[in-house]
């Protein structure tokens, strides 16, 4: 039973079939596919994605994952000694590492805003971030939806407040596309990166980076290739630099329009209904699990998307970390066939598990999870 859509998503068969067809075409005629006719597939995919996330295609490029998007932005910054980069205690470890390395190299400082968890109000997030801003803050990396703690941050307000203090926001939106409605033109952070292989269910390796027009000039991809000195007609320099990242399999990007279309047709109310249905299921599932496990919900329901973190029962607490994956998480899979991630959050550290809700899940899945956790 798959209750962990959040980690790596899941791709529907019709989308995978399209990808297999595209891969056959690529291997049959690699030069025609990857070089001569490349833009004929890339540009419509970009246009479809732009419509889905409320963006202009001019501000949008594909990348292979959100980690790559964060790398591009952070490693393009010209940091000086004493500059500060801001992140939060709820960030994603891989993305934090990018900031750690960038600040280390420049003699800059990494500041971590301590957002409490559990928390009661979205304002606590805003207050913690703003309290950590100084005159030296160059950029703040802010999650749209956090990973382990599964919180939807009040992003519009955070971006606005940071802008007022002259601080650029890099939004790590790894979980947001497909989970939350997006309008990047309206949101207008300096940078936004998001995954499409999670909640949009595109094949693995589909993600995007959006950059506000006034931030595109200095932005280099994580992998520099031909684009820096090979301008193409009908593309801007930002697109030129990012559209070719060396020889890779671009079929995940080319499948994005089909993933958007296919999922959007599953319910009469299209994506709007799909997002609302998944959110509602996550909310009901959390209620059920908290009741069965006598657990206190760690955040209000209005901070949930389609994932939710729930504290593990007391007998799981205080167990020291061992191995890459928690042994009890492995037992849950091996003995009960349930895939759910366990994590450790907060200071003092508490152990949580995280549920996901997508179209293939129903409330009975979480009943089975509750029973399994009680037996584990
Ligand atoms: C908040 C957040 N940021 C970044 C990532 C990294 O995504 P990817 O491995 O696709 O780069 C994840 C993955 O789960 C995430 O949850």
Q: Is 128 left (phi over 0), alpha (psi -120 to 50) or beta?
A: alpha
pLDDT at 322: 86
State if residue 147 touches ligand 1 by the CB under 6 angstroms criterion. yes
Number of residues written out for the chain: 376
Ligand 1 mutation target, pool 195, 206, 307, most atoms within 8 A of CB? 195
In order, the DSSP letters of 242-266 are HH--SS---HHHHTHHHHHHHHHTS
- Quick one: which of 152, 158, 151, 113 has its CA closest to 131? 113
Beta strands 191-195 and 137-143, pairing class: unpaired
Mean pLDDT of the chain, nearest integer: 98
pLDDT at 92: 98
CA–CA dist 87, 322 (Å, integer): 27
Average pLDDT rounded to a whole number, residues 28-43 = 98
**Local confidence band at 168 (pLDDT 50, 70, 90 cut-offs):** very high
H helix runs in 53-122, sequence order: 66-76, 93-106
State if residue 243 touches ligand 1 by the CB under 6 angstroms criterion. no
- Quick one: which of 159, 157, 151 has its CA closest to 179? 151
Cβ atoms of residues 213 and 58 within 8 Å: yes
Ligand 1 mutation target, pool 67, 71, 150, 208, most atoms within 8 A of CB? 67
State if residue 215 touches ligand 1 by the CB under 6 angstroms criterion. no
Q: Could you give phi then psi for residue 40, rounded to 5 degrees?
A: -65, -25
Nearest CA to ligand 1 atom 10: 65
In sequence order, what are the beta bridge partners of 84?
Answer: 109, 137
DSSP state of 33: I
Ligand 1 atom with minimal separation from the 172 CA: 3
Show Cβ contacts of residue 240 under 8 Å, excluding neighbours closer than 6 positions. Answer: 227, 228, 230, 231, 232
Convert the pLDDT of each residue in 315-351 to its tens digit. Answer: 999 888 888 999 999 999 999 999 999 999 998 899 9
Predicted confidence (pLDDT) at residue 176 exceeds the cutoff of 90:
yes
H helix runs in the chain, sequence order: 5-8, 13-28, 30-31, 38-52, 66-76, 93-106, 123-131, 155-164, 184-187, 237-243, 251-254, 256-264, 270-293, 327-336, 363-375
pLDDT at 63: 98
């Amino acid at each position: 039973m798959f209750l962990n859509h959040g980690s790596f998503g899941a791709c529907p068969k019709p989308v995978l079939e399209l990808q297999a067809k595209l891969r056959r075409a690529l291997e049959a005629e690699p030069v025609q596919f990857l070089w001569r006719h490349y833009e004929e597939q890339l540009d419509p995919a970009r246009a479809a994605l732009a419509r889905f996330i409320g963006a202009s295609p001019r501000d949008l490029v594909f990348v292979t994952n959100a980690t790559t998007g964060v790398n591009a932005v952070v490693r393009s910054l010209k940091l000086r000694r004493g500059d500060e980069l801001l992140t939060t205690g709820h960030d994603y470890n891989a993305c934090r590492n990018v900031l750690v390395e960038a600040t280390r190299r420049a003699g800059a400082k990494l500041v971590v805003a301590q957002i409490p968890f559990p928390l009661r109000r979205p304002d606590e997030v805003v207050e913690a971030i703003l309290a950590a801003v100084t005159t030296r803050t160059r950029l703040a990396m802010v999650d749209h939806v956090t990973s382990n703690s599964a919180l939807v941050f009040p992003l519009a307000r955070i971006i606005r407040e940071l802008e007022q203090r002259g601080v650029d926001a890099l939004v790590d939106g790894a979980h947001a596309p497909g989970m939350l409605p997006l309008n990047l033109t309206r949101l207008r952070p300096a940078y936004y990166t998001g995954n499409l292989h999670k909640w949009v269910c595109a094949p693995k390796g589909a993600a995007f980076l959006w950059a506000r027009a006034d931030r595109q000039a200095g932005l280099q991809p994580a992998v520099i290739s031909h684009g820096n000195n090979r301008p193409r007609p009908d593309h801007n320099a930002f697109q030129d630099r990012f559209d070719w990242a060396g020889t890779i399999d671009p079929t995940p990007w080319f499948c994005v329009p089909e993933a958007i279309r296919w999922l959007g047709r599953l319910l009469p109310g299209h994506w709007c209904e799909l997002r609302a249905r998944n959110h509602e299921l996550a909310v009901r599932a959390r209620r059920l699990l908290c009741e069965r496990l006598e657990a206190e919900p760690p955040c209000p329901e209005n901070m949930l998307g389609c994932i939710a973190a729930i504290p593990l029962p007391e007998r799981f607490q205080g167990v020291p970390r061992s191995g890459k994956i928690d042994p009890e998480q492995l037992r849950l899979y091996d003995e009960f066939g349930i895939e759910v991630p366990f994590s450790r959050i907060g200071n003092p550290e508490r152990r949580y598990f995280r549920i996901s809700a997508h179209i293939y899940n129903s409330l009975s899945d979480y009943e089975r999870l509750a029973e399994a956790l009680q037996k584990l």
